[in-house]
Amino acid sequence: MLIQRNTHVLPSTFSHSHTVYEIQYCVTGSVIFHYYPVQGSSYQVEVQIKPGMLIFTPKGVYHGVGNVRYPYDRFWAQFSDEDIADMDGSTGLLTFLSSGESRIPLIWDLSTNHEVFESILEQAYTAYMNDSLSQKWKKMYLSNYYGLLFCEIHRCYPQYFSGFSPNNISQTISQVKQFIDMHFSEAVKLSDIAELFHYSPSYLTKQFTEQIGISPRQYLTNKRLSMARKDLCSTSLSIQEIATRNGFGDVNYFIQVYKKNYGTTPKKYQHYMRTLP
């Protein structure tokens, strides 16, 4: 378990994978982060990472950076299965973080509360660099800081954890969740999903809410918002186009729901991301 802070110059472009989990958090500057969602494929996904954005990369995922804009300052941390188990306990957070669609990296925009997360990471880094602490004490400090980091992310941005529940999830509800993840951009209706899995809409809602923590309607909305937010960061599409491609048939409804969840309009957020250095 470690944490570092980098301001040094990186290679112009490089790719790699590793046998540990990794967190990268951008403080200043920007970088193009890329990854390969399917192992062995030449298809590459690129996302521009700006200040306040965090990347969680599962182990074994081939990834890298390029087009760095300096001065580039980041925190990066790595931890093993054993480290996560110490931090995670029995909550199942690791499974949630590392078993998404095609095991792709999670990219979260934390910029509206960046002071909170940078403070936690700075304290973790200070503890790690403190030579007066033994390795056991450093590990304890880092476990607590990483746990606090995820708790604060959940407090400030619960939508990023939609679908995470420490409770056991039945096979059917897990399949419902996967169906929504795959078809969120379509005109999906609760009644259609319920019929597909031989449930009544009310019973599906009850079971899904008990096991996942939110209703299937809210999970679908959160999924659409999360994917739309990624498009606002990484594409030049219009608000109408982003709304449509992420399952929002009414752009005004998209704007309304986005503002309710994120505290700003998608247009203002898109402008903010484009004007960052």
Q: Which residues is 4 bridged to in the sheet?
A: 76
Model pTM score: 0.60
Domains 2-159 and 171-275 share a fold: no
Q: What is the pLDDT of residues 26-44, one digit of tens each?
A: 999 998 998 876 666 666 7
- Reduced to 3 states, what is the DSSP secondary structure of residue 73? strand
Identify the pLDDT of residue 100.
Answer: 47
Identify the pLDDT of residue 55.
Answer: 93
Q: What is the pLDDT of residues 49-59, one digit of tens each?
A: 999 999 999 88
Predicted confidence band of residue 115 (pLDDT cuts 50, 70, 90): very high
Dihedral sign, CA of 246, 249, 250, 256? negative
Q: Does domain 2-159 have CATH number 2.60.120.280?
A: yes
Q: Does domain 171-275 have CATH number 1.10.10.60?
A: yes
> What ranges do the domains of the chain cover?
2-159, 171-275
